[in-house]
Amino acid sequence: MGTAMELTKEQLEQIGSYIESNFDRFGAKSNVVQLRPYDIQLIERMTRIEEELRSQRELMQLGFNQMDKRFESMQKQSDTRFDDMNKKFTMMMWMMSAGFTIIATVITLLTIFAR
């Protein structure tokens, strides 16, 4: 390769000022993003917030699943209660029908034999 160039302090300062004045243009061409410390802090905060939201969502889903299980058990209990009540009402209906039939039969027999 070639030999290294010896640059004077003046030339180095000229190069430095040129780079400083055109830094934004060079950065735009190279697609390099320069982040300031504050930007880095904001990105870190956003990352922590996203992680916290993810954990909150997982906790909420766990809570909803537990609530869903409680509601399912309550639904089963109410279903069995309604089934029991339905059986009792059916039995009462049969008993009332049998009672009315017996009473009607007795009254009819009494009216027939009372003459």
CA dist 107 and 98 (Å) reads: 14
Q: Which percentage of the chain shows pLDDT scores above 70? A: 89
- The predicted-structure confidence for 76-94, as pLDDT tens digits, reads as follows 999 999 999 999 999 999 9
Give the Cα separation of 90 and 103 in Å (integer).
20
Q: Tell me whether residue 55 is in a domain.
A: yes
Q: What is the reported pLDDT for 19?
A: 85
Per-residue three-class SS string for 49-81: HHHHHHHHHHHHHHHHHHHHHHHHHHHHHHHHH
Whether 1 maps to a domain, the answer reads no
The average confidence (pLDDT) of the chain is: 88
Name the 3-class secondary structure at 16.
Answer: helix
What's the pTM?
0.41
Does the pLDDT of residue 44 top 70, yes or no?
Answer: yes
Q: Is the pLDDT of residue 5 over 60?
A: yes
How does DSSP classify residue 35? P
36 within domain boundaries: yes
Number of domains in the chain: 1
